[in-house]
Amino acid sequence: MNIGETLLRLEALSGYSSGGSAPRIKLDANENLFLPREAMLGYLREAVESSDPRLYPATESEELQTAIAKRLGVDADQVVIGGGGDQLINLLVTSLTRPGEGLLSLTPTFSMYKVAASIRGVESQDCPLAPDLTLDPSRLLAAVAGNTRMIEIVNPNNPTGVQFEEGAVKKVVQGFEGPVLVDEAYADYGRYSLVGCCSGLENLMILRTFSKAYGLAGMRLGYLVAGPRLASALRGVQDLYPASSVSIRMGLRMMRETHVVDEAVSRLKKERSRLASELSQIPGVVMIPSDANFVTFKTQAEAASIQAKLSAEGVSVRLVRGIPGLGDCLRVTVAPRPLMAEFLTRLRGALG
């Protein structure tokens, strides 16, 4: 294969864009703007000053495993630290599937799963969401093919924001013999978590991140919770030091600041309700009820056109294509009230 063919192959695999130039109001990446920036910078300075860049982060990882386990009520040997959710997704696809096997996903969902599968030579198998955007466990299990090796469920889902019924997710885990990954990146904003079920369900894995509720999107830190045997096996095949000392120390600091995190989550949920109420009053707007830190909605006007108008006003939102029953939609991060007020003003202006 020559370099031209190689470049074409790489370009075909690309599945996620982080956006273009920095907007004045950035509401397209589900980042946490409720945590105070100055306080976070203070924590970061402490993390940097207490780190020795000459040393590998061995003991820090174990400390963070213990802190996470205490926070979640699980054993420390159930926790696997990673360099962000994407790094852990790649770890799971690489270690648990082989070329030619299948990764079954609900659609639409987070695009990085398809990217990781394509790079690995794994078949991406799709099961559309139910018409009401919920999870039908019988339908998903019926989509299992002979080569299906793993199922992944993003819950609450991205880009819809819908958290599936707990019993429906459990039925999938119990009805499939292979590994099931439940991506709980947004679970802090939802109604429940399945973390406590990992001890009793050997094939269940829970993916969590510090990028959302904990406000560390720029630090690239995440973790996985699974049964002790599966977690140990995954630690044995992952990168030796998957996260930096500074990132891990920031994670440890945020574990000590859980009251700040919980208060920020509470404020976001209140603002999410207010935003939903405001959107529902705009003619032609149809909103999907959300359990995440974003809201996805349909406009009467073409979604791409409204996104472009908002961008021209310095407001960035995400264009989401092909939501069942709605078509193209827009997704907006829930942010503190002044930003939401300006967003709503610009949106009403764009809708004319």
Q: What is the dihedral of CA 269, 272, 276, 277, to 10 degrees?
A: 70
- Which phi-psi region, left, alpha or beta, contains residue 100 (left: φ > 0; alpha: ψ -120 to 50)? left
What are the domain boundaries of the chain? Answer: 3-30+259-347, 51-257
pLDDT of amino acid 21: 52
Q: What is the pLDDT of residue 10?
A: 64
Residue 27, pLDDT > 90, answer yes
pLDDT digits over 45-78, tens only? 999 999 999 999 888 999 999 999 999 999 999 9
| Cα(249)–Cα(46) distance, integer angstroms | 9
Q: What is the DSSP letter of 76?
A: G
* pLDDT tens-place string over residues 103-120: 999 999 999 999 999 999
The pLDDT, as a whole number, for residue 352 is: 85
Q: What topology does CATH give the domain 51-257?
A: Aspartate Aminotransferase; domain 2 (3.40.640)
- Under DSSP, the state recorded for 23 is P
CATH 3.40.50.1820 fits 3-30+259-347, yes or no: no
The pLDDT of residue 291 is 98
Instruction: Give just the sign of the alpha carbon dihedral 340, 341, 345, 346.
Output: negative
Chain segment 158-200, per-residue pLDDT in tens: 999 999 999 999 999 999 999 999 999 999 999 999 999 999 9
In this predicted structure, the answer to whether residue 6 has a pLDDT above a threshold of 70 is: no
The CA distance from 288 to 131, in Å, is 12
SS3 content of the chain, % helix, strand, coil (to 5): 45, 20, 40
